[in-house]
Amino acid sequence: MATDDEMSKTLRVAKILQIVFLGAILIYVIILVVLPYIGFAPIFPSDYPLLTPIAGILGVHAVISIALGYLMPRRIVKRTKQEVRSPFCTEVVLRCAFFEAVAIDGGILGVIGAGWEITIPFFIVGAGAMILTFPTEERWRQMIEQVKTY
């Protein structure tokens, strides 16, 4: 069983990982803001008829990613039955990857020509999900208790 010091170090690593993933979302937004200033034009004009269906498809993907981000990481970790430290960081990375996929969908929409009113919600939802699941000591302790049961 991992000691409190080991768990504290692992929690710190998980927090750093989650902050890095959040930072990536900020970078996507900055890139979309800067692109027009360096002469990049969107792939499609804003009135392109397929933008709405593409946004709808990516919206469905985003909803699925959020759901999977909440449901799948713990199930995957339970199946791996790794040592105590590793499943926690694995769960954080998996969850962040699902949530970052939502922001990437928004970035894709921005690059192909969708306006900010369509792309910003993707960034907000992806970052918001990460913030809501940010590793805290209380959540960490709950995860430890759950690991003991499987």
Q: How high is the pLDDT of residue 2?
A: 57
Tally of structural domains, the chain: 1
Mean pLDDT of 116-135: 94
Q: pLDDT tens across 14-30, in order? A: 899 999 999 999 999 99
Q: pLDDT tens across 48-104, in order? A: 889 999 999 999 999 999 999 998 887 777 766 555 456 777 888 899 999 999 999
Mean pLDDT of 114-129: 95
3-class DSSP state of 35 = helix
Of the candidate ranges 118-122, 129-133, 144-148, the one whose mean pLDDT is the lowest: 144-148
Q: How high is the pLDDT of residue 135?
A: 86
Q: pLDDT tens across 133-145, in order? A: 998 888 877 777 7
Mean pLDDT of 35-47: 87
Higher pLDDT, 122 or 8: 122
pLDDT for residue 42 is more than 70 = yes
Distance CA 110, CA 30 (A): 11
Distance CA 57, CA 36 (A): 25
Mean pLDDT of 25-39: 93
User: Going by C-beta distance under 8 Å and a sequence separation of 6 or more, which residues neighbour residue 11?
Assistant: 88, 135, 137, 140
Segments forming the whole domain that contains residue 90: 4-148
Mean pLDDT of 121-132: 96
